[in-house]
Amino acid sequence: MPPASGGALPPQDIPAVDPAAAVAPEEPADAVHPDTVLAAERLNDLQRLNAEYVNYKRRVDRDRPLIQERAIQDVIEALLPVLDDIQGARDHGELTDGPFAAIADKFEATLAKFGAERYGAVGEVFDPEIHEALMHVDQSAFPGAMPDGATTTTVVKVLQGGYRVGSRVLRPARVAVADPS
């Protein structure tokens, strides 16, 4: 029966609420919650990005010395014409003493600190790996240039010195060679 005064229901008419019944329906035991799937995907993404970063850092650390070495070689290669001019002045006796001789010596010493080495000398055994033969002459054209008892093709004149940094040849020595008699 409805209340006469239009007020609230009497206490016996209020349905009782069971707190256990208010919980969401049970999920099957093998069901995975969507938040768990999303968290697992995010964790996989994070682990993949971390592995990519570690590989990138390892690659950069590995390549850094190679890049530095290549940069040094590029600078020395750009300075080869200057070194040729200095050597030409020395060969003509223009850099025996004085301020320019001191500057040239310091310049060559500085490049030597970075591994620049000039090579190619009269009497060396010809090696096509480090020499470029521009002329093949008879040994009589350069008396005294061939060592006594030489049995292989020998450098008898250096036309342009070669340069290397470490084991890498920047420019082969350009030479005239002669065969033993």
Q: Is it the case that residue 34 has pLDDT exceeding 90? A: no
Confidence (pLDDT) at 31: 66
8 A C-beta contact, residue 116 and residue 140? no
Beta bridge partners of 135: 176
Element (H, E) at 46: helix 34-91
Q: Where are the domains positioned within the chain?
A: 116-181
Q: Which runs of E-coded beta strand occur in the chain?
A: 116-119, 131-137, 154-160, 162-165, 168-171, 173-178
In three-state secondary structure terms, 5 is coil
Look-up of token digits 């750009």: 78
What is the amino acid identity at position 163? Y
Distances (CA, A) of 149 to 38, 128, 145, 152, 156: 83, 21, 12, 9, 14
Share of the chain above pLDDT 90, in %: 59
Total residue count of the chain as it appears in this document: 181
Query: Would you state the structure tokens that stand for residue 29, as one six-digit string?
Result: 């035991």
Confidence (pLDDT) at 98: 86
In terms of pLDDT, which residue wins out, 133 or 141? 133
Model pTM?
0.65
Which alpha helices (H) appear in 92-118, and where do they start and end?
Answer: 99-113
pLDDT in tens, 141-163: 777 777 777 788 999 999 999 99
Beta bridge partners of 162: 119
CATH topology (fold) of 116-181: Nucleotide Exchange Factor Grpe; Chain A, domain 2 (2.30.22)
8 A C-beta contact, residue 178 and residue 156? yes
